[in-house]
Amino acid sequence: MESGLSLKYMKIFGLIFAFVAVALVAYFFGQKGAEPETFIPNTPTSTRDVSGEIEPSDTESSTDGKSVLERSFRESAADPYDGWVKETNTAYGYAFRYPASLTRDPKNSAKLMFSEENLREGGGSVHEATLSEEVTLGKCKSDEALYDSSNTPEAVEKNGITFTRTTHSGRTTGQRYEVVTYQTYKDGLCFKLSLLILSASPVAGEDTSAIETANIGVKEEVSAVFEKIVDDFRFL
């Protein structure tokens, strides 16, 4: 009788041991096959895709008789950035403000666009002005082939940060382009803000004097907005 009970208990303990062993083996191989938790630096061209929070200003833009571009960078004694939107990018640790009249490109959230309707005020041929923000790994690079002796890269200090400023311009099919870029290197990353202005090339035989005069005015206003945005760029 006793030997029968002992045999019965031995079988029970054997089954329990086998079950535990199978469970441990399954757990071990399950852990081994699982994806390890690794940190991969996020290096998108669109910093807005990653992170940042948009903090709208409490002050609405004025609707006085000035053009939209003039209202975009109007200055007041209390706050020269009155009515602007503040963008804080916590992933990469920087912030800047931009006019509330600028809108995000629905196809690329790293781009801020000036209204084409506003750009064409006055009869000019400027049809696009876009501000781009970009963060990439490694030191900042510039294509020296784009620059000549009149627009070589220069060191510029803004808000306590040393930037490399570059400009270049040229023509493509049916339009002209102008680009201004500010780059600065910090903690293994290159931070870049750039402005692209596109205008239609003049048609042969067309009187372009009035168009060019309007274009100059629009480009100056857009460039002033861009410079003011870069003036406000800061690391957190």
Q: What is the pLDDT of residues 128-153, one digit of tens each?
A: 999 999 999 999 987 665 555 567 78
Answer whether residue 171 shows pLDDT above 90: no
The domain ranges of the chain are 1-38, 47-235
Q: What φ, ψ does residue 204 adopt, rounded to 5°?
A: -55, 130
Mean pLDDT of the chain: 74
CATH code of domain 47-235: 3.40.1000.10
Q: Cα–Cα–Cα angle for 31, 32, 35, nearest 5°?
A: 80
Q: What is the mean pLDDT of residues 20-38?
A: 41
Of residues 220 and 63, more confidently modeled: 220
Structure confidence at residue 155 (pLDDT)? 94
Structure confidence at residue 233 (pLDDT)? 96
Answer whether residue 158 shows pLDDT above 90: yes
Greatest alpha-carbon pair distance for the chain in Å reads 118
Of residues 122 and 162, more confidently modeled: 162
Task: Please indicate, yes or no, whether the overall pTM of this predicted structure exceeds 0.85.
Answer: no
Question: What's the pLDDT band for 232 if we cut at 50, 70, 90?
Answer: very high
Q: What share of the chain is helix, strand, coil (3-state, %, to 5)?
A: 30, 35, 35
